[in-house]
Structure 1
Amino acid sequence: MSALLHVRNLEVQSPARPILHTLSFTLEPGKILAVTGESGSGKSTLALALMGLLPSGFQAHGNIHLEGQDLLALSEAEWCQIRGKRLGMVFQEPMTALNPTRRIGAQIADTFHLHTTWSSRRIRAETRTLMEQADLLDAGVSERAYPHQLSGGQRQRVLLAMALACQPTLLIADEFTTALDARTQAAMMALVTRRCEAQGMAVLLISHDLGLVRHHADHVLVMKEGTCVEQGPTASVFDAPVHPYTQALLAMSLHGAARVPLTPLPVFTAPA
């Protein structure tokens, strides 16, 4: 199967320092690639680079190809044509990603208005369907509610509904389950998995939750200080980790609650 996303030698430079170092990976249709690592390792910067949303002053170099299209060569107008349509993203902070002055139903509907020629009646119906699939209607959430009237988990589900609206070929989910209880987390991952199976959507899942990663991801990419230290099939990485950092992450996940002694890692130096 040919890869949907090709990333080769991706580097991101901030005005002060390098953030990502020669990062390379591929992602096939219908597969879930989990990116994990400690805070500050560059996971969210990777997501923003893939969406063309790096902050002002940041520069990306290398190659990012989505279905053969060179994303780093796009103009802003071209980016606007694929964001929300071929690329969907669930941002980590829903209160900053949602417009606090507009009702959530209208914000979900915006994606349809931007990328389809559907009638208003169909858009209203599709919006309600998405809210139902995201377990918002069952939770008593109205389309006319404002973001501040929702819980953190409900706002995350609104973002997921928005990201899935136009059936993107690639979904980027940045810690989108952190505010969800276990039952809702399972329901949302089931929704994402169904989309992968039904329409071949690929998922880049950014998460600290190694239990979630092990259960749902096909492949894992482990990052530290802007560098990929290990990647491979999920079972291989979890059952036989090679890099000391990966071994330490997994040990913390398995034994952190048991207060086992921690073994210091050797000093890690990112490539120049």
Structure 2
Amino acid sequence: MKKRSTTVFIQCIASLFALALLAPTPFAAELTAAEIMKQVDDRYTGDTSYSDAVLTLIDNKDRQRVRNLAMYGQTKDDVEKAVIFFTTPADVKGTAYMSFDWEDENKEDDTWLYLPALQKIKRIASTDESGSFMGSDFSYTDINGTDYPDFTYTMEKESEMVDGHDCWVIISTPKNEEVIDKTGYTQTKSWVRKDILIVVKGIINVKRGKRVKYFSASELEQIDGVWTAKKLQMITTRNNKKEHASVLVVNNTRYNQGVDEEIFTTQAMQRGL
């Protein structure tokens, strides 16, 4: 199956757990950077998934805005589907985001955003994926993931410790300007835990404004056999100063307990939960 690369983060909304929900894979010696990232990309994250989540947006004065989400995912032979519903507060309640990641590389992946204030469903073009997702530091690229073949991978360090765990440090570089324009990123450095192949830390160079993003995945737990990061953080900086930060805390995660097929429709996005 064509899979989105986990060079940036979140997946399960077709990628909202993208960097973080990775199945354990035995350590193999002398893997190349590309082989390691392919194993990360080929992780198993369940046939279906559900999670509650709290998304906190933090400005440069540490003022916070909180968003509550419900996230659903489903993987079938030809497509990975994901949908997110915003449940509170009132100003975003009813907003929904859905993505289909098709196996066929010649078939354009589909993404939709429903804004209840406008009572309108908007399709997100691939050229808009570098934009901010609902005012957060996660872009649509981070939510949707990126295509593994679009990058070259270089081993920067064979070993570096992060929170007491040995990691590879791998550089992911877009192969051409088209990929840079689509993702908005010029380079990503990832720290991959060797024992379970989870990206636990990342530094991302942003093309626009020469910003730098800092990603972390923490509070790791094995749920229904799937390693899950229960806390994801992204911090955006410019000139070494924090501009904004976003923290996603994931709760009540369930895998392989079934999801109603009808929830992955534009009609369901409009109806809400």
Fold shared per TM-score above 0.5: no
Structure of greater Rg: 1
Structure that is richer in helix per residue: 1
TM-score normalised over the length of structure 2: 0.31
What's the TM-score once normalised by structure 1's chain length?
A: 0.31
